[in-house]
Amino acid sequence: MINQWDEHGAKKVVLQGVNTDQLLELHALALSLELPTYLVQDAGRTQVPAGSQTVLAIIGEEELVNQVTGQLKLLN
């Protein structure tokens, strides 16, 4: 999957969520669709407390990823 993503331009889209609960719900939905994910836990070197879940990466076909992220807005 990673090689295919890289070969097709490695498209990245950054979207904005509301809170940790939403992030975890999106993560669960992505996993239920068998999409590869990576949930980032912050190291706590800035104002974000250590262990805070701050980023969710989802890799997959655009149509499937959009089923998870389609309601989110682009990060400003």
Q: Which pLDDT score is estimated for 19?
A: 95
CA distances from 9 to 2, 23, 34 (A): 11, 26, 22
Could you tell me where the beta strands, DSSP code E, fall in the chain? Answer: 15-16, 37-41, 53-58, 73-74
Domain spans, the chain = 1-71
- Class of 1-71 per CATH? alpha beta
Q: Which pLDDT score is estimated for 21?
A: 97
pLDDT digits (tens, 9 = 90+) for 6-56: 776 788 899 999 999 999 999 999 999 999 999 999 999 999 999 999 999
Q: Which pLDDT score is estimated for 7?
A: 76
Q: Which pLDDT score is estimated for 27?
A: 98
Q: Which pLDDT score is estimated for 4?
A: 74
pTM score: 0.85
Which is nearest to 59 in space by CA: 29, 37, 74, 39?
Answer: 37
